[in-house]
Amino acid sequence: MNFWEYLGTRHQQLLVDAYQHASAVFQCMVVATLIGVVVGVVTYRTAWAANLATLTTSTILTMPSLALIGLLIPVVGLGVAPTVIALTLYGLLPITRNAIVGLRGVDPALVDAARGIGMSRTMRLLRIELPLAWPPILTGIRVATQMLMGIAAIAAYASGPGLGNEIFRGLASLGSKNALNQVLAGTLGIIVLALLFDAAYVLIGRLTIPRGIRD
C-alpha cells in the first residue's frame, strides 16, 4: 500500500503514539525548566558556580542518547522511567545556560533601584530579574524542546512511549511492504509535533514578553 493508505489504516495508533510522544516531551520540559531555572538562580551570581553548572549540563548533553538510555535500563527498568530521566537531563543545558545569561544581563541599575525602594532579594528576583530574563529563558526552552522531540524517538529502544516505536518497527522490518511507511510516518509525525510546539512557544512569547523587550 502507498503512504496515504497506510496513514488511513493506522491513523488511530499514530495519534496515540503522537499524543504519548508530545506528552512525554512536555512533561519532561516542565521538569527540566524548573530545575534549569532554579540552578540558574542559585549559580548566576558566582562565576565558578555558573561555569560548573554549564559544564555539568554540557557534559550530560555530550553523552549519546542511546548509550544513556541503555545505562539507565539496569537501574530503573524499561518503559517510561528511563525516557523521563534521559529527556529531563538532556533538556537542562539550554535552559540553565540561558537562565544564567538572562539573569546576568539584567541592568544592575534596575536591581539597585528596587533595592532602594525596600524590595527584598526574593521580591527583586521574582518581580524584576526573572521577568527581564524570561526572553532568553524561553529561547532556551524552545531549543531544548526541539532537541527532545528527536531524542524522545530513541526512547523506543527502552520500550518508551511515542512515535519512536513506529520508526523502530519500520527499521526492524526493512524489506517488508510497510517498513518505509512506518519510518516515514514516525519521522513526519515528530517533525509536525516539533513545529506545533515551536508555534506555541512563539505565541507564549508574544503573550508574556512586553513589546519593548521583544522588539
- List, for residues 147-197, the tens digit of each pLDDT value: 999 999 988 888 788 899 899 888 888 778 888 989 999 999 999 999 999
Asked if residues 60 and 93 have their Cβ atoms less than 8 Å apart, the reply is yes
Portion of the chain with pLDDT greater than 90, in percent: 54
Distance CA(25)–CA(11), nearest Å, equals 21
Cell numbers 527540566 correspond to 32
Cell numbers 524570561 correspond to 134
pLDDT(214) > 70? no
Asked if residues 170 and 182 have their Cβ atoms less than 8 Å apart, the reply is yes
Name the residue ranges covered by the structural domains of the chain: 3-214
Q: What is 3-214's CATH superfamily?
A: MetI-like (1.10.3720.10)
Distance CA(53)–CA(80), nearest Å, equals 27
- List, for residues 54-66, the tens digit of each pLDDT value: 999 999 989 888 8
* Cell numbers found for residue 23: 506528552
Q: What angle do CA 40, 41, 47 make, to 5 degrees?
A: 65
Residue 141 has a pLDDT of: 96
Q: 114 pLDDT band (50/70/90 cuts)?
A: confident
- Average pLDDT of the chain is 90
